[in-house]
Amino acid sequence: MMQATTDGLVLDHIGHDYGGQAVVRGVSLVVRPGELVCLLGPSGCGKTTTLRVAAGLEAPRHGRVVLNGRLVSGEGVHLPPEERNVGFLFQDYALFPHLDVLGNVAFGLTALPRPARRERALQMLEQVGMTSHASHWPHQLSGGQQQRVALARALAPSPRLMLLDEPFSGLDKRLRDLVRDETLHVLKSSKVSTLMVTHDPEEAMFMADRIAVMRAGRVVQMGRPDELYGQPADPFVASFFGEVNVIHTVVSGGAAPTAVSTFPAPGLGEGAAADVLIRPEALSLTVAADGTGTVLTSRPLGRSSLVHLRVESADAPPCHLHARLVGRTPPLEGERVTVRVDTSQVFVYPAEIGDEG
């Protein structure tokens, strides 16, 4: 078993199922004091169930939950959410329609006398920039304003742990970027441990100190955003953080030959089938009459351009690649180009079952 830390959240080999169907399988992780950890993965991977187990909304079938050194689930113990000093922020902000903004934020402060309750609620509204809306009703607020009020309400009782489940998914992109930036600053200034669920890798990389990537109920890799992006454990993790070019090849002499270049294939035996994954931003193109690449299409996308190209070589079969170029005019359709590769963004793995050449 994992050793419980004095403070923070410990999930120790958590397992859970619904009707005998396992949805969480041996999940272990730690959220340290003041740390924000994201559970990241596709729909149905078990991340929300893991969050519900941490909250006390579900009792795990296996394993333990330890919060700030106290066993709260497992070994015959299960404390309900209201006894865990945990704050919640979900997709549905669930503001009380019969209470104004100030009343919503003060709702959970019943242990304080009325004047202190009002003072604390106003402090939290100031922290999220909503003091001027204290007397407004929830239906008078925008989605972003409702999210800020919900955050203030969740933080008002000074929880030791915050749990966020896709809290920005209902906002449009411009507002989402703004609100999650504000939320991150508030959470960090509060120094509260936070476990957050998202399916958006960009959001996870922006928000998290560490990310736990989940697949089929398991954590397949956990680490800092730069570690997961730069050192993905497998093709699933590599492709989850953005589009990748996949080239199927066969290992020869300890290397994986492709039409672009030949890449080291450590740990793969002679003749082994391999997949070479190359991020589109790893490719740089230079127009040259003797280039091995031919531009098929070129599409400006604002801050970047997406170029489709065919690369040919005498040493390997031709391949179709996508290149993402930033900050300059892309080559035109039909132009020949030389292709250079940033090898730090190239990953070689054993071919997955079902790959076709």
The domain that holds 248 is classified in CATH as 2.40.50.140
306/18 Cα distance (integer angstroms) = 43
- Picking from 205, 235, 265, the residue at the C-terminal end of a domain is 235
Contact yes or no for 283/341 (Cβ under 8 A): yes
Q: Quick one: pLDDT band at residue 356, thresholds 50, 70, 90? A: very low
Q: Looking at the structure, tell me whether residues 201 and 54 fall in a common domain.
A: yes
pLDDT of residue 164: 94
CA-based torsion, 274, 279, 282, 287: positive or negative? positive
| pTM: predicted TM-score of the whole model, two decimal places | 0.88
Could you read off the pLDDT of 207-232 as tens digits, one per residue?
Answer: 999 999 999 999 999 999 999 999 99
Pair (207, 81) in one structural domain: yes
pLDDT of residue 205: 95
What's the mean pLDDT in 200-211?
95
Q: What is the CATH number of the domain that holds 189?
A: 3.40.50.300
- Does 98 reside within a domain? yes
Which of 235, 269, 303 represents a domain boundary (last residue)?
235
Q: Which of 3, 5, 6, 14 is nearest to 214 (CA)?
A: 14
pLDDT tens per residue across span 230-280: 999 999 999 999 899 999 999 999 999 999 999 999 999 999 999 999 999
Q: Look at residue 2 in the predicted model and tell me its pLDDT.
A: 59
- Cα dihedral 172→175→177→180 (10° resolution): -110
Among 206, 235, 264, where does a domain finish?
235
User: Residue 25 is part of which domain span?
Assistant: 9-235
Do 49 and 183 sit in the same domain of this protein?
Answer: yes
Give the residue among 201, 210, 184 at the shortest CA–CA distance from 239.
201
357 falls in which pLDDT band (50, 70, 90)?
Answer: very low
Place of tokens 């454990």: 233
Residue 195 φ/ψ, nearest 5 degrees: -115, 125
1 inside domain: no
**In sequence order, what DSSP letters do the residues of 103-162 get, joined into one string?**
HHHHTT-TTS-HHHHHHHHHHHHHHTT-GGGTT--GGGS-HHHHHHHHHHHHHTT--SEE
Instruction: Single out the residue of 180, 212, 258 nearest to residue 30, CA to CA.
Output: 212
Residues 122 and 263 in one domain: no
**Would you give the distance in Å from CA 35 to the centre of its chain?**
14
For residue 89, the cross-strand partners are 164
Q: How far is CA 60 from the centre of its chain?
A: 23
Encoded tokens for 95: 């503001």
The string over 286-308, giving b where at least 16 C-beta atoms fall within 10 Å of a residue's C-beta and e elsewhere, is eeeeebbbbbeebeeeeebbbbb
